[in-house]
Amino acid sequence: MNGLMMSQQLSISSIVEHAERVNGNAEIVSVTADNPRHRYTYQQAFARARKLADGIATWGLAQGDRIATLAWNDYRHFETYYGSACSGYVCHTINPRLFPEQLVYIINHAEDRYIFIDPDFVSLAEGLVEECPGVRGWVVLTTAERMPQTSLPNVLCYETLVAAGSEAFQWPELDENAACALCYTSGTTGNPKGVLYSHRSTMLHAYATMMPDALGIARKDVVLPIVPMFHVNAWGNPYSCPMAGAKLVLPGSKMGDGETLAALINEEKVTMSAGVPTVWLGLLAYLKASGQRVESLERIVVGGAACPLSIMEELDTYGVQSKVGWGMTEMSPLGTVNASQATRENYSEEDFAKVRLKGGRQVFGVEMKIVDDEGNELPWDGEAFGSLKVRGPWVCSSYFKLEGSDAHAEEGWFETGDVATIDPDGYMAITDRTKDVIKSGGEWISSIEVENVATDHPKVAEAAVIGHYHPKWSERPLLIVVRGPEGKDLTSQEMLAWFEGRIAKWWTPDAVQFADELPHTATGKVQKVKLREIYKNFAFPV
């Protein structure tokens, strides 16, 4: 027998309707290329999103078509999220830090029809146009007066588009399983893969992030997402904040700038923030140098990479509570949050230092398990470590346009590529990765591509690159080289110089170590886990 309750669709346009009714006066404050402090309300934001949607409706797109963004965190990007997705299109957020070849691949694979770009990215876009024939038009996120000179074909000005639209635009009824957003992850080997979020998954995830032991977002909060809106929807903040009625502070392109972040926190009275460890290092360095404090900031969630204890302890001295979170693009991204702070008094100082570094406990809605190489489930004893698998309504079931071909090793579970322990209290701790990638300052570096360039060097017999602890970037690439017969005189300097012009500067390894041989598996693959063990005491020169 079915229950007799309404089966209203979980669509993100309901966030708009709710926020307009009850949270209309809460503010969104943004740093943009043309205004250091743009300020308006949710009511105004959503009125403009409707006008934008009215403009988009004249483009003749089909439901489900992709509208992409190459943009920083600001109010126009926020409006584009809603204007596109609530109209039944898919908002595809693209990471502008990728190389042009990767951008071209992603745009073509996603079949993006229109791309909204910040003025900063106009020349980047001009370099892509020829290779992206499927893109019908480009929208520059600026005013008519500030429209840059550009050779982009079919280029529109965002503010002109919005001004021409009607506020009376009505959102269509959407199926909750319809796609609303798309984000590519280059976190695995091979080409980037698209994670296609649905209205339902996005709504459930946003609800979950608001729970007290998750991000705990309430009406009284002022939230500063320092995680980019092009990276997993800024961890859901653009949805959860209007749901809760929290004030949203968007730092534009200034996410790495400690001074701007401190000013935003102090002037806007930010209470909660989220970002990768590197961001907190930048903020802490600025606070130390300037002698400023961040009195309003109560708590932050730090994730995306392992957080050093020193960052958490330094934040303690500023009265900022830091919670580790773990997740993935494929998980919308929230998986676990470490709410151990709530029970700090239950631990000795030493045990607390250990437990607070863990990834934390699964948020309701996410199930986790750890398995050995044969797929047998391992105990939650805090000792046994194995491959971490997850499932839940906001976990990816297949990648975009790879349905069927990328079946996970075990039906119904997503293989995260992380290796973890889980203790009897349910605290998960990442111990290693099976996926062959490096994460520097929250952004992926493909080890395979770096290795391919290294082995092209005539003096190199074999090369492997591993992610290795770095105090500023969490991880940086360390290159291990076996010299070839002609390479007896190969030096680190010569090796590193080889990367110039062949690879993005920030993908270039920070150091080289020479070895007589590399450890291999029976099938001839380099054993990265073993390599990481061998070089665990290596320290990058800083």
Which residues are designated catalytic? 185, 330, 439, 444
Residue showing tokens 């290329």: 33
CA distance 474 to 468: 8
What's the closest the beta carbon of residue 183 comes to ligand ADP, in angstroms? 9
Interaction mask 405-434, ligand ADP, x per CB under 6 A: -----------xxx-----------x--x-
Minimal distance, residue 533 CB to ligand ADP, in Å: 18
User: Which residues lie below 8 Å from residue 34, measured CB to CB, with a gap of 6+?
Assistant: 119, 142, 143, 146
333 lies in the site for ligand ADP, by CB under 6 A: yes
Amino acid at 274: A
For the CB of residue 477, give the shortest distance to ligand ADP in the complex, in Å.
15
Residue numbers 15-74 binding ligand ADP by CB under 6 A: none
Chain positions 268 to 327 lying near ligand ADP, rule: CB under 6 A, are 303-306, 324, 326-327
**Residues between 351 and 370 with contacts to ligand ADP, criterion CB under 6 A:** 359
> Distances from the Cα of 68 to the Cαs of 117, 125, 245, 391, 433, in angstroms?
9, 12, 27, 28, 31
| Amino acid sitting at position 376 | N
In SS3 terms, 109-171 reads as HHCEEEEEECHHHHHHHHCCHHHCCCCCEEEECCCCCCCCCCCCCCEEEHHHHHHHCCCCCCC
**Binding characters for ligand ADP, 431-470, by CB under 6 A (x = yes):** --x-----x--x----------------------------
Q: Please name every residue paired with 345 in a beta bridge, in sequence order, or none if there are none.
A: none
Per-residue mark of binding to ligand ADP, 467-506 (x: CB under 6 A): ----------------------------------------
Q: Which is nearer to ligand ADP, 245 or 303 (CB)?
A: 303
**Contacts of residue 186, Cβ cutoff 8 Å, sequence gap at least 6:** 98, 102, 192, 444, 446
- C-beta closer to ligand ADP: residue 124 or 306: 306
- Min separation Cβ 305 and ligand ADP, Å: 5
Are 467 and 438 contacting, i.e. CB atoms less than 8 angstroms apart? yes
Choice from 98, 174, 179, 328 touching ligand ADP (CB under 6 A): 328
Binding to ligand ADP, residues 215-244 (CB under 6 A): 232
Find the length of the chain. 542
Q: Toward ligand ADP, which CB reaches closer, 44 or 188?
A: 188
> CA 229, CA 271: separation in Å to the nearest integer?
19
8-state DSSP, 306: P
Count of positions on this chain that bind ligand ADP (CB under 6 A):
21
How far is 315 from 325, CA to CA, in rounded Å?
A: 16
**Closest distance of CB 433 from ligand ADP, Å:** 5
Binding site for ligand ADP (CB under 6 A): 185, 187, 232, 303-306, 324, 326-329, 333, 359, 416-418, 430, 433, 439, 442
